[in-house]
Amino acid sequence: MLLTVLLSLIPLVAGAAQYCQFEGSHHPLTLCAAVNSHQNSTTSSTDWVITFGYQRAHEAGWVALGIGSGMYGALMFVTYANKSSRDLVLSVRRGLGYYEPEPIGAEPQVVTNSISINKSGWFEATFTCYQCSAWSSVASDGSPQPWIWAANVNQVFSEASADSSMEKHGVYGHFSLDISEGRDDELRLPHIDFTAENSASTTSGAGGVALGYLHHSRYRAGIKTPRTTGSHKWIGRLVIVGGCINALIGIQMADENMALLFIASGSKGLKSEEVKAKSVGQDEDSRPFLGTNED
C-alpha cells in the first residue's frame, strides 16, 4: 500500500531540479526553488517552469530569486504582498548592480501559474518563463549554474504592484542548480519535494532531509507559526546551556585540574561559532544591492 502511494507521487516531482535551504545557523531564511525545463520547438529556445517558495516570518518584506552569479544583469523574480496579504505579487526585474532592480517590459514573457500564502506564512509562486534560458544566458548543458537570492523581511507594502519600490535587502545568498536535471519532454509544473536532496548540494544528509520534511509538511499544512519558529531558537539555546552545565559537572567530578582547560577550549569554540553564524547573510560591506560578489 505504502509503495503504491510513493510510486503515485513520482510523476509530480520527477525531472525537477531543486534546491532547498532551511533556517538555521548557516541559513537565515527557509526557501526552496524547483525548476523544470522544456525545449520549445516553435521558438527553438528553452522554457522554464519555476516553483519558488519561502517561509515568511512577518506580514511584510520581499524575497527575490535571481538567475546569474552577480546582481548586474541578473534576471530577478521578486515576490511580495501588501500588509493584509491579499495582493500577492510576482515582479520580474533586471538587476542593475548597486541600484534597485528595474521591472522588465515584454521580454522574457513570464506567466504566473499560481501564487499563494497559507496560514503558516508559506509563500509559494509557480510561473513559466518562456525563452528564459536565451535571455538569461544560463546554459542547460549539464553543468551547475549560479543562482542568487535576497530578502528584506521588514519592508511594509501599503499597496503592492509589479513596479513597487524595493528597499535594500537585509539577507542574501547564492547556490548552484543543474538545470539539465529538470529537463522534460512536457512543460509540467514542478512541485517542491522537501524529502529530496539538493541537485547541487554538498552538505545534504538523511538527518537534514527528514528534518526538512517534518518541518515543511507542517508549514504547508498551516500548523507551524512564526511564534513556534522563534521558540525553536530558545529551546536550542537552553539545550546548549544545559549541555554545558552537565559537561562542567562531569569534568569537575573526573578531574578538577582539567576544568579550566576544557572551559577555555569550549569558550573559544563558541566564539568561533558565533562569528560564523553572524557572517551568514549579513550586509556589512558595500556589495551590490543583492549582496552578490559581482557588480
Predicted pLDDT at 188: 81
| Nine cell digits for residue 271 | 566564539
Q: Above 50 in pLDDT, residue 225?
A: no
Average pLDDT estimate for 137-163: 83
Strands 109-117 and 31-40 come out as unpaired
Predicted pLDDT at 265: 43
Q: What is the DSSP letter of 153?
A: S
Q: Which amino acid is at 53?
A: G
Q: What is the DSSP letter of 183?
A: B
Residue 142: partners with Cβ closer than 8 Å, 6 or more residues away = 178, 180
Q: How confident is the model at residue 142 (pLDDT cuts 50, 70, 90)?
A: low
For the domain covering 12-221, report its CATH number.
Answer: 2.60.40.1210
Instruction: Report domain extents, the chain.
Output: 12-221
Predicted pLDDT at 98: 77
Q: What is the pLDDT of residues 151-195, one digit of tens each?
A: 999 999 988 999 999 999 999 899 998 877 767 667 789 999 888
Average pLDDT estimate for 24-38: 89
Q: What is the pLDDT of residues 239-284, one digit of tens each?
A: 444 554 555 555 454 454 443 333 344 444 433 333 333 333 433 3
pTM of model > 0.75: no
| Nine cell digits for residue 16 | 525537477
Q: What is the pLDDT of residues 98-117, one digit of tens each?
A: 789 999 877 788 999 999 99
Q: Above 90 in pLDDT, residue 128?
A: yes
Q: Above 50 in pLDDT, residue 124?
A: yes
> Cα dihedral angle (193, 49, 182, 3), rounded to 10 degrees?
40
Residue 269: partners with Cβ closer than 8 Å, 6 or more residues away = none
CA distance 190 to 126: 8
Burial 190-227 (b: 16+ CB within 10 A, else e): bbbbbebbbbbbeeeeeebbeebeebbeebbeeebeee
Predicted pLDDT at 49: 94
Predicted pLDDT at 263: 37
Q: Above 80 in pLDDT, residue 22?
A: yes
Is the preceding omega at residue 108 within 30 degrees of 0, hence cis?
yes
Q: How confident is the model at residue 45 (pLDDT cuts 50, 70, 90)?
A: confident
Average pLDDT estimate for 224-236: 40
Higher pLDDT, 131 or 17: 17
Higher pLDDT, 183 or 204: 183
| Nine cell digits for residue 178 | 543543474
Q: What radius of gyration, in Å, describes the C-alpha atoms of the chain?
A: 21
